[in-house]
């Protein structure tokens, strides 16, 4: 009956997120202040006041979501949570993997904020606007989506970016190829194939320049072994070695976020409860659809924190 903490990825952001935490808890306010200082700008003002289109920019959304997750963590820890004693594993969806690693002590908060700013900028700059695309394929098996991507590759790069589970798989690559794959998926019986309003083709081979940028950035920061193992996105298995984690984070930029397999790994290894730490409840919803034996619980408000502490430490 083990517990894991999961950390949300891009798409969970919303203007105003974390404001109630910062207003209620000095530990949370200190997180936002430290992130502002690390980045040399008032990201907290954008998080709490918008505008939404500025918060949604990849270079802002990534450190912003991490800040909210770590704000929740710092409040939990100030009130008695011991991650190493009460939690068996951490995992995060895409950028959420950095939040998970920060929570587990691999990176300092300031370094995590700077790494995610570098990551966001590098991912945005990797592909000229309009060249890439992403699409959500609903209701097709993984193997079928792989097959349509392979067929569409005659028009350019195309691959699975996120296997989110619950019948949702996101593909990414060059625009013509992704559009072709989406059409083929519909022919194969997909319930829906929807082009996503994203600014770049994340988790595709087109992100290779961003992977190079992250290799250099990760080589320049101090890394510790996480206090609990992280379930790496590209491996869907636990990792604790800091050097290995750095390599997997580089691989993650161009590789597949294996979230369905991550939740399945939890279920197969007696993890019964996933606390989603941070903004929104996307991962909580996915957990329910992937494996009914796993319970997802979103923790992002002061009331959520009280409930989580009561369950975790009594």
pLDDT digits (tens, 9 = 90+) for 5-36: 999 999 999 999 999 999 999 999 999 999 99
Say if residue 197's pLDDT is above 90: no
Region label for 71, one of left (φ > 0), alpha (ψ between -120 and 50) or beta (otherwise):
alpha
pLDDT of residue 129: 87
What per-residue string of b and e applies to 82-105 under the rule 16 or more CB within 10 Å gives b?
Answer: ebeebbbbbbbbbbbbbbbbbbbe
Task: Indicate if 132-198 has the same CATH topology as 2-126+206-313.
Answer: no
Q: How far apart are CA 118 and CA 121, in angstroms?
A: 5
Whole-model pTM? Answer: 0.97
* Catalytic, out of 88, 93, 203, 204: 203
Respond yes or no: is residue 142 known to be catalytic: no
What average pLDDT does this structure show over 251-261? 98
- Supply the DSSP symbol for 270: T
Q: Is the pLDDT of residue 262 over 80?
A: yes
Among the options 69, 94, 172, 204, which is catalytic?
Answer: 94
**pLDDT of residue 198 exceeding 90:** no
Query: Average pLDDT in the 160-176 region?
Result: 97
Q: What's the DSSP call for residue 257?
A: B
2-126+206-313 has which CATH code? 3.40.366.10
3-state helix/strand/coil string of 291-307: CCCCEEEEECCHHHHHH
Residue 314 has pLDDT above 80, yes or no: no
Q: Once rounded to an integer, what is the mean pLDDT over residues 143-160? A: 98
- Partner residues linked to 138 by β-bridges: 168, 192
Q: Is there a contact between 141 and 184 (Cβ–Cβ < 8 Å)?
A: no
Q: Where are the domains of the chain?
A: 2-126+206-313, 132-198
Confidence band of 72 (pLDDT split at 50, 70, 90): very high
For 132-198, which CATH class? alpha beta
Residue 203 annotated among the catalytic residues of the structure? yes
pLDDT tens track for 271-300:
999 999 999 999 999 999 999 999 999 999
């Amino acid at each position: 009956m083990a517990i894991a903490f999961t950390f949300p990825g891009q798409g969970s952001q919303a203007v105003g997120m974390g404001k109630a935490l910062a207003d209620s808890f000095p530990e949370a306010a200190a997180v936002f202040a430290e992130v502002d200082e690390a980045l040399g700008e008032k990201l907290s003002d954008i998080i709490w006041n918008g505008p939404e289109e500025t918060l949604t920019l990849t270079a802002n959304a990534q450190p912003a979501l991490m800040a909210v997750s770590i704000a929740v963590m710092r409040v939990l820890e100030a009130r008695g949570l011991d991650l190493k004693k009460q939690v068996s594993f951490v995992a995060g969806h895409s950028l959420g993997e950095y939040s998970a690693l920060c929570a587990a002590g691999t990176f300092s908060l300031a370094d995590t904020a700077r790494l995610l700013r570098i990551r966001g900028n590098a991912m945005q700059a990797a592909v000229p606007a309009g060249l890439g695309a992403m699409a959500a394929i609903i209701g097709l098996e993984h193997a079928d989506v792989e097959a349509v991507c392979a067929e569409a590759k005659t028009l350019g790069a195309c691959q699975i970016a996120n296997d989110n589970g619950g019948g949702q798989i996101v593909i990414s690559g060059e625009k013509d190829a992704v559009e072709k794959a989406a059409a083929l998926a519909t022919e194969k019986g997909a319930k829906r194939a929807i082009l996503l309003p994203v600014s770049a083709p994340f988790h595709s081979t087109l992100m290779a320049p961003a992977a190079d940028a992250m290799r250099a950035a990760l080589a320049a920061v101090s890394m510790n072994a996480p206090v609990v193992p992280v379930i790496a996105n590209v491996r869907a298995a636990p990792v604790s070695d800091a050097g290995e984690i750095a390599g997997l984070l580089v691989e993650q930029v161009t590789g597949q976020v294996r979230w369905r397999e991550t939740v399945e790994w939890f279920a197969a290894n007696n993890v019964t409860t996933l606390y989603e730490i941070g903004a929104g409840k996307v991962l909580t919803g996915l957990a329910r659809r992937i494996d009914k034996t796993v319970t997802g619980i979103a923790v992002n408000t002061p009331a959520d924190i009280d409930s989580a502490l009561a369950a975790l430490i009594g």
